Structure 1
Amino acid sequence: MEVVELDFETCRKAATSRDSRFDGVFVTAVKSTKIYCRPSCPAIVPKRENVRFLPTAAAAQREGFRACLRCRPDAAPGSPDWDVRGDVVGRAMRLIADGVVDRDGVPGLAGRLGYTDRHLHRMLSTEVGAGPLALARAQRAQTARVLIETTGLGLADIAFAAGFGSVRQFNDTIREIYGRTPSQLRERRTLAETDEGVVTVRLPYRAPLHAEALLSFLSDRAVDGIDQLDADGYHRNLRLPHGPGRVTLAIREGHVAATMRLTDLRDLAPAVARCRRLFDLDADPAAVDAVLGADPALAPMVLKEEGVRVPRATDGFEIAVRAVVGQQISVAAARTVLRRLIAADAGYFPSAEELLALPDGAFAMPEARRRTLRGLAEAVAAGDLDLDGGGDRNETIEKLKALPGIGDWTAQYTAMRALGDPDAFLPTDLGILRGARAAGLPDTPKALAAHAERWRPWRSYAAIRLWRMP
């Protein structure tokens, strides 16, 4: 199958200007050197006849190109297209990033999405230039490179931690993709060795990123024992496929420094994916702010605070529970209720199964809301509701609203933070209505919802901004 190629002139212009906004959107593959780069790579721009533009690193690797060791195209921010899209390809890309192929194989991925293996391969190849196995292989190679260059682990241990089936497969893949053996890559290591199970990685993002808006939102909703913000950064416990973990995220210029303490290093890729999702690091702030800034009512706040992100989630079920608990009560009151749901020594938000096992006394709320939480947990535990990126967004919202006690506000809040829907909106929310009034916007739900149509497809970002109005 032919690898999909992008509009040549548009990509050529971006690469010639070394525009970092396009890092992760496409890669530049140089036919004369067989190396592929980010659009912003500082190397000399190749001649027109020597260059191809491909949608993903996996597509370039499939065509026999090696990753540039100068600009590290495999470590670029993710594509904002796949990040916001709610269709099958967007959902597949998010699940692959979370390690579903490594854990469950292509049949497991296809099953989550409701398609056959063959049809899913065809859709991904058409859209991103590579099938699910090639995409997962590219991710394994990047994970391996990070472990090689940032830890003192033995290379054989790294091979299996990154998801390779054998040391030989690991050696061949690293040599093919980076043009170096694993031992040669290790010679490039510049970071000091850390404690066993601790890995520090850089999570790049597209500037600007308004750190205070992001961190204050998460800090206001932090729950003791789960997450907290201090001078060192935002600390968060993670429930990962192979065991618990904890991450410290510190926002720097152009990247987020993530120090991860993992029970099992096989969880590095899913931990990275979930942290990127939590901080909305694959967003395109220029595209968002251009639309919102075109509204005179929002323009002053967009100019004052560029790059506001939507704080999202590492655990979709947790966000849905938080949304139910937060119905008609303050953020502070919701935190108090949530603390009761978490055992003092647990350190992790309860899973659907664990929540179902809790006694009624753990639910400091009216009986009707307790029944709603149990109904939500039953749907998730039974596999009828996917809140971690595999389900269709519109279908998931309708399934949520079909549960007793869940209305549009709860469903839209869950869609915004758990499903990553960039266009969710909550026109009945008192905080949003208060912010709308302060901005000179309509302050009744019906009128505000009508006005918000001009903010599509970025109404989630508008909601965050309205919540921030004094």
Structure 2
Amino acid sequence: MHEDFERCVRAVQSKDDRFDGWFFTAVLTTRIYCRPSCPVVPPKVENMSFYPSAAAAQQAGFRACKRCRPDASPGSPQWNERADLVARAMRLIADGIVDRDGVPGLASRLGYSSRQVERQLLAELGAGPLALARAQRAQTARVLIETTTLSMTDLAMASGFSSIRTFNDTVREVFALSPTELRRRAKRSQQCTTTGVLSLRLPFRAPLCPDNLFGHLAATGVPGVEEWRDGAYRRTLRLPHGHGVVTLRPLPDHIGCQLALSDLRDLSMAISRCRRMLDLDADPVAVDDLLGADPVLGPLVAKTPGRRVPRTVDPDEFAVRAVLGQQVSTAAARTHAARLVTAHGDKIDDPAGGLTHLFPSPEALAELEPESLAMPKSRRRTLTTLVAALAAGEIDLGAGSDWLRARAQLNELPGFGPWTVESIAMRSLGDPDAFIASDLGIKLAARALGLPESPAALNLASAAWRPWRAYAVQHFWATGDHPINHLPV
């Protein structure tokens, strides 16, 4: 979009926050870059320049606006809508792959050479993987500077910087303030934590309907791993360097987020995974415009605009839970999952609530005895085959996965039909066009709405809702009175 100069100018002049994260406005006279909705008086048109990423603006010598904080804007919705190389790379960079494994590790996960990845990212985003990861580290550093009392040395390491000098230079270059000056400014308006719990605001594009989003997570929550407590959804997180507990609270203009991490190097990954689980980088206006124009879905969209697709912080975990939920009730699926957690999950301490375990990894589940599972023999085989494939790395459901390849691999596993594959595609892979035509709730909704009930016919009818069929699923489910559709009391 950044190449459409006139459209970008209109968005900036109207301070349209729907475009935050889509592009960044650089002001040639002040050498500052902003989000489109920056509250200051828009610059003259001849002084505007537009960049597709914060990293590209930084590389061009612009520093972040202190007023609108463009580095903290919602991410571009493109990266969760697309399944091409650039989108997969951006999801992996957000998940910290460059900080952990470098550019070669990113390229290896994508199945391309480092040179190909660099060329594609430069062509579309104006910055390579190292610059994009650096911009993310700068934002992580800012969060830690402003919300903790960590020493600058510890903070630099936690942000992913290799040295205190690189950390200082990057912060000064991006924010035009030293780390100490950033902390001093933050103390005037907010209280830094000394308890080890980070309090953050997760922005989103309005509108956002929290009912089905948090209702689904709470109603299907696995005891010990997830809970709804005092108006917030809480769960444990398995992260690259350790574990964490996150508390997410729906508020009118943002999601309140509290993170307790065993290793602060996992901060940016934890934020990215929570944003992905809550679908916070979606473009609800684009989704609602298309679905709202449909004669059947239109009234449903008008009633509750801004529905999101509840996803997951751990794609492998959800795949296992999808198998446990085959042909059983929500309550039965939670019971099966809770047994696995108690037997094979890692214990954690949660002073603030009732969370007790991390969901077991595929490697831990690969060691279970099939006979210990209280389910039909055929489903035991389905589960153990899936777990073995995930543990061996034969199937990738992660942030950088190839959606078509993953679907094909899942379809080859015994006991995997359309319901299981599309459920995993929607929640683990994050495909916005996944559609569970064989789901009982979808069939009941189709009947009530006067649509065909058979999966084949409904799939044909759903073509008009592409590429947003996963959002249509949320509206279909909301026609029923299941707890997944309501915020818990």
Range of TM-score over shorter length: over 0.9
Q: Per the alignment, do residues 36 and 385 of structure 1 end up closer, same or farther by CA in structure 2, a change over 3 Å counting?
A: same
The answer to whether the 8 A contact 2:315-2:397 is kept is yes
User: Match of 1:246, SS?
Assistant: strand
- 2:265 equivalent to 1:255: no
Task: Tell me, in whole angstroms, the C-alpha distance in 2 between the residues paired with 1:258 and 1:413.
Answer: 26
**Residue identity in the other structure for 2:43:** P
Aligned twin of 2:214: 215
Task: Tell me, in whole angstroms, the C-alpha distance in 1 between the residues paired with 2:381 and 2:185.
Answer: 56
Aligned twin of 1:20: 17
Measured against aligned partners, the alpha-carbon deviations of 1:250-280 in whole angstroms (never above 9, x if no partner) come to 1112211110000000000000000000100
Aligned twin of 2:144: 147
Matches within 5 A, 1:90-101: 90-101=87-98
Task: Tell me, in whole angstroms, the C-alpha distance in 1 between the residues paired with 2:429 and 2:195.
Answer: 33
Identify which of 405, 418, 431 aligns with 1:408: 418
User: Match of 1:388, SS?
Assistant: coil
**Cα drift, residue 74 of structure 1:** 0.3
The answer to whether the 8 A contact 1:227-1:237 is kept is yes
Task: Tell me, in whole angstroms, the C-alpha distance in 2 between the residues paired with 1:448 and 1:145.
Answer: 48
**Cα drift, residue 384 of structure 1:** 1.4
Identify which of 48, 51, 71 aligns with 2:48: 51
The answer to whether the 8 A contact 2:366-2:391 is kept is no
**Residue identity in the other structure for 1:264:** D
Aligned twin of 2:323: 324
Task: Tell me, in whole angstroms, the C-alpha distance in 2 between the residues paired with 1:466 and 1:232.
Answer: 25
User: Match of 1:237, SS?
Assistant: strand
Aligned twin of 2:64: 67
Task: Tell me, in whole angstroms, the C-alpha distance in 1 between the residues paired with 2:138 and 2:20.
Answer: 19
Count of residue pairs the alignment pairs up: 467
The answer to whether the 8 A contact 1:219-1:229 is kept is yes
Q: 149-158 or 369-378, which moves further after superposition? A: 369-378
Aligned twin of 2:295: 296
**Cα drift, residue 282 of structure 1:** 0.3
User: Match of 2:165, SS?
Assistant: helix
**Cα drift, residue 410 of structure 1:** 0.9
Aligned twin of 1:339: 338
Identify which of 161, 176, 179 aligns with 1:179: 176
Give structure 2 stretches of 5+ with no counterpart.
348-356, 481-489
Matches within 5 A, 1:344-383: 346=347, 347-383=357-393
Give structure 1 stretches of 5+ with no counterpart.
none
Task: Tell me, in whole angstroms, the C-alpha distance in 1 between the residues paired with 2:3 and 2:322.
Answer: 40
**Residue identity in the other structure for 1:321:** V
Task: Tell me, in whole angstroms, the C-alpha distance in 2 between the residues paired with 1:364 and 1:89.
Answer: 43
User: Match of 1:159, SS?
Assistant: helix
The answer to whether the 8 A contact 1:318-1:349 is kept is yes
The answer to whether the 8 A contact 2:418-2:438 is kept is no
Task: Tell me, in whole angstroms, the C-alpha distance in 2 between the residues paired with 1:369 and 1:437.
Answer: 30
User: Match of 1:78, SS?
Assistant: coil
- 2:18 equivalent to 1:8: no
Aligned twin of 1:445: 455
Task: Tell me, in whole angstroms, the C-alpha distance in 2 between the residues paired with 1:239 and 1:362.
Answer: 25
The answer to whether the 8 A contact 1:28-1:38 is kept is yes
**Residue identity in the other structure for 2:216:** F
User: Match of 1:235, SS?
Assistant: strand
**Residue identity in the other structure for 2:376:** P
Measured against aligned partners, the alpha-carbon deviations of 1:117-143 in whole angstroms (never above 9, x if no partner) come to 111000001111110000000000000
User: Match of 1:342, SS?
Assistant: helix
Measured against aligned partners, the alpha-carbon deviations of 1:7-38 in whole angstroms (never above 9, x if no partner) come to 10011111110000000000001111110000
The answer to whether the 8 A contact 1:37-1:71 is kept is yes
Task: Tell me, in whole angstroms, the C-alpha distance in 1 between the residues paired with 2:401 and 2:275.
Answer: 19
**Residue identity in the other structure for 1:421:** D
User: Match of 1:147, SS?
Assistant: helix
Measured against aligned partners, the alpha-carbon deviations of 1:275-307 in whole angstroms (never above 9, x if no partner) come to 000100000111111111111111111111110
Q: TM-score, normalised by structure 2?
A: 0.94
**Cα drift, residue 54 of structure 1:** 0.7
Task: Tell me, in whole angstroms, the C-alpha distance in 1 between the residues paired with 2:372 and 2:128.
Answer: 46
Task: Tell me, in whole angstroms, the C-alpha distance in 1 between the residues paired with 2:208 and 2:70.
Answer: 21
Task: Tell me, in whole angstroms, the C-alpha distance in 2 between the residues paired with 1:130 and 1:410.
Answer: 38
The answer to whether the 8 A contact 2:2-2:23 is kept is no
User: Match of 1:36, SS?
Assistant: strand
**Cα drift, residue 5 of structure 1:** 4.8
Task: Tell me, in whole angstroms, the C-alpha distance in 1 between the residues paired with 2:84 and 2:428.
Answer: 16
The answer to whether the 8 A contact 1:197-1:264 is kept is no
The answer to whether the 8 A contact 2:146-2:192 is kept is no
- 2:237 equivalent to 1:238: yes
Task: Tell me, in whole angstroms, the C-alpha distance in 2 between the residues paired with 1:411 and 1:445.
Answer: 14
Aligned twin of 2:354: none
Aligned twin of 1:461: 471
The answer to whether the 8 A contact 1:200-1:260 is kept is yes
**Cα drift, residue 86 of structure 1:** 0.8
**Cα drift, residue 440 of structure 1:** 2.2
Identify which of 102, 109, 113 aligns with 1:112: 109
Measured against aligned partners, the alpha-carbon deviations of 1:194-245 in whole angstroms (never above 9, x if no partner) come to 2443211111000111011111111110110011112241001000111110
The answer to whether the 8 A contact 1:340-1:362 is kept is no
Task: Tell me, in whole angstroms, the C-alpha distance in 1 between the residues paired with 2:123 and 2:148.
Answer: 37
CA RMSD of aligned residues (A): 1.2
Aligned twin of 1:279: 278
Task: Tell me, in whole angstroms, the C-alpha distance in 1 between the residues paired with 2:247 and 2:235.
Answer: 7
**Residue identity in the other structure for 2:468:** W
User: Match of 2:360, SS?
Assistant: coil
**Cα drift, residue 438 of structure 1:** 1.7
User: Match of 2:233, SS?
Assistant: strand
Aligned twin of 2:224: 225
Task: Tell me, in whole angstroms, the C-alpha distance in 1 between the residues paired with 2:371 and 2:230.
Answer: 36
